[in-house]
Every structure is written in structure tokens, then in C-alpha cells.
Amino acid sequence: MKTDHDHADPLQPHSHEPNPAPPSEDPTFQFVSVNGRRRPITVMDLQRLAEVSISDCYIVSTGHGTSGPFTFTGATLLAVVEAFCHDPWSEVEVVSADGFGNRIYASELHKPDPAGPILLAYAMDGQPLTRTQGLVRLIVPSERDDALRQVKWVGEVRVVGGGKRP
């Protein structure tokens, strides 16, 4: 009998098998606020926020190695959280449609790495990302050597409460 403890937490660092095809044709992802309210988000919703481009980013993918450098364009994860969540929060969980995820703490978003802020990217090298490329990808510009922080095929962004209002 399987228990909750037997289930791998997608937000804990772990290796995962590469995914050659999108897990879903649905291009939207769910934004889940601290209060549990869900809202579908589209690429067009992201494009309404301030556009940020970061160069010298790499795609680090299990089974496929590292490719790049690329220039990714999108909205910062902080801008997305601030646009759609008005409650105090402490972290954000970004989970792909295939179940792989990453946990990002508020401090990482408020004081980004010198490599650049964490993005929900919708374009690469000036071209919109295709569904196969991820359509919306979480890009962590400082990641260079493993595939534990980047999330392809973003399916859900969950904001976790706690801490002071940012």
C-alpha cells in the first residue's frame, strides 16, 4: 500500500527522466493564490506584464546536457506573483504539467542572483517558445550544471503563505 511518504515530492531536488513531448496540449497554467483561489494564466497574460530579457542563459536538461547560451524573454516570477497575489507569501512552487517542480523563496525573488531574475519565459532568442520547447518555462539564469531548478511546461504556479507581505 502506497502512502503519502512513498510519493516523491516534485519540489525536492531529484533527477528525472527527460521528456521528449509535451505532457499536455493545453497552453495555460494555473496560478494558485495563498487562499487556494485558482486562475488560469496564458502567455498573453504574461505579455501584459513588464517584459524582461536575460542573455547568457542555458537550458540544462536531464539526458540532453546543456545547450545555449540563449536570450530568454518573459515576465519575472516576482512580477507574476505581485500581479496575481495580494496576500503575504513566503515561497512559490512552480510545477510542470509532468509533475517536476521547483520551490523558490521570496528572498530569491526580491534579491535576484547577479546572473538575473528568475523568469517565466515565453520567448527564446526573440522567437516565441513552441509547445515542444515548453511554451512557458521557468528560467533560473544562475543554473549552469544540473536540471534541478528549471521547469519546462509550467502547469501550475502555487503561492505559499507566510512571512511578511512583500
136 with 121: CB under 8 angstroms?
A: yes
What is the overall mean pLDDT for the chain?
81
- Give me the residue label for grid cell 538575473: 116
The three-state secondary structure class of 93 is strand
Residue 15 has pLDDT above 90, yes or no: no
Q: What integer pLDDT is reported at residue 133 of this predicted model?
A: 76
What pTM does this model have?
0.82
The three-state secondary structure class of 66 is strand
Query: Taking the domain 27-161, which CATH number applies?
Result: 3.90.420.10
Helices assigned H by DSSP within 22-117: 43-47, 77-84, 106-110
Total length of the chain: 166
Least confident of 75-79, 80-84, 143-147, 153-157: 143-147
